[in-house]
Amino acid sequence: MSSFDTGFSAFALKRLAGAAAFAIMVGLSALPGTAAEIDGSKIAAALGKSGTEMPGGDYRVGLPRTDLHVTLDGVELKAGFALGSWLAFRTDGNATMVMGDLVLTEAEIPPVMSKLAESGIEITALHNHLLGAQSATFYMHVLGHGDAVTLATVLHDGLALSKTPFGDAGAGTSAGATPPIDLDTAMIGRTLGAKGRAAGGVYQCGIARRDNQGWRHGSAGCHGFGGSDQLSAARQRQSRDHR
C-alpha cells in the first residue's frame, strides 16, 4: 500500500462527516454577502507569498508548481497551465474564509493533509485532474474560517511540508516582462467572449458566473473566489522522451 493510500484511508473516515456537512451548507446557502476590505499585505507576510486583490475585494494568491516536471501524452505541461495551486481569502466582518486548490505529489499528500487538518483546515476534496500524467499530481481542495493571518500561517506551515515554491514569480526580472506566447489570443478572446491575460507562456481566461451559483456559506462568489470557470491555453512542446 502506497503512502497516499495509507494516509488518505486513515484520514477519510474522520473527515467524511465534515465534508458532507460542508456540501449541505453550500447547497442550502442562499443569502448574498458583501466582502469586507481585506489586508492583503498581512496575508502575504504570513503566507510567504504575495497575491492580487480581485474584483469584489477577495485576495487571491497563486502558487504555481514550477518545481515539477510533468508530461501528459508526451506533452510537457507548463506550471500555469495545469499545475497551479491557489488560495483565495475573503473577509466578512471580523471573520475570514479561505478556499483553495493545492497541487501535490503523492508523497506530499499525507504530511500536508495531516498538518492542515490538525490545524482546523477542512479537506473538501482530493482528486486527479491529469489521468496518466508522469509524474502523477493530485489536487487538494481546502476550506478554512477564522483570523486571516492565522489561516495564512497555518496554510504556509502545511505547504512548507511540500516542495511548493513560495518565491514571487518575476523576482530579478524587469517589471512587466512576460514571455511571448505563440497563440492567436485575439481569436480566443473573440470566440470565448472573454478577455484573458498571458502569464508564464499560458493564456488564461476567467469567465465569471452570472447566475448566483457562487454563493459560499452566505457569501457571494466571484471569479477570484471559486465562482467562475477558468480556462487556459498554451502551445506545449512535445517531450523528447515521447515515442
Q: Is 41 left (phi over 0), alpha (psi -120 to 50) or beta?
A: alpha
List the one residue out of 126, 12, 150, 132 whose CA is nearest residue 71: 132
User: What pLDDT score was predicted for residue 1?
Assistant: 56
pLDDT: which is higher, 57 or 241: 57
User: What pLDDT score was predicted for residue 46?
Assistant: 97
pTM for the full predicted model: 0.68
Kindly report, residue by residue over 118-174, the tens digit of the pLDDT: 999 999 999 988 888 888 999 999 999 999 999 999 999 999 999 999 976 444 334
User: What pLDDT score was predicted for residue 217?
Assistant: 42
Query: Could you tell me the residue ranges of all domains in the chain?
Result: 3-173
Count each helix (H run) and each strand (E run) in the chain, helices first.
6, 11
| Mean pLDDT value of segment 84-103 | 92
What average pLDDT does the chain have?
75
Q: Is the pLDDT of residue 220 over 50?
A: no
- Sign, Cα dihedral of 68, 192, 98, 125: negative
Q: Is the pLDDT of residue 13 over 60?
A: no
User: What pLDDT score was predicted for residue 143?
Assistant: 97
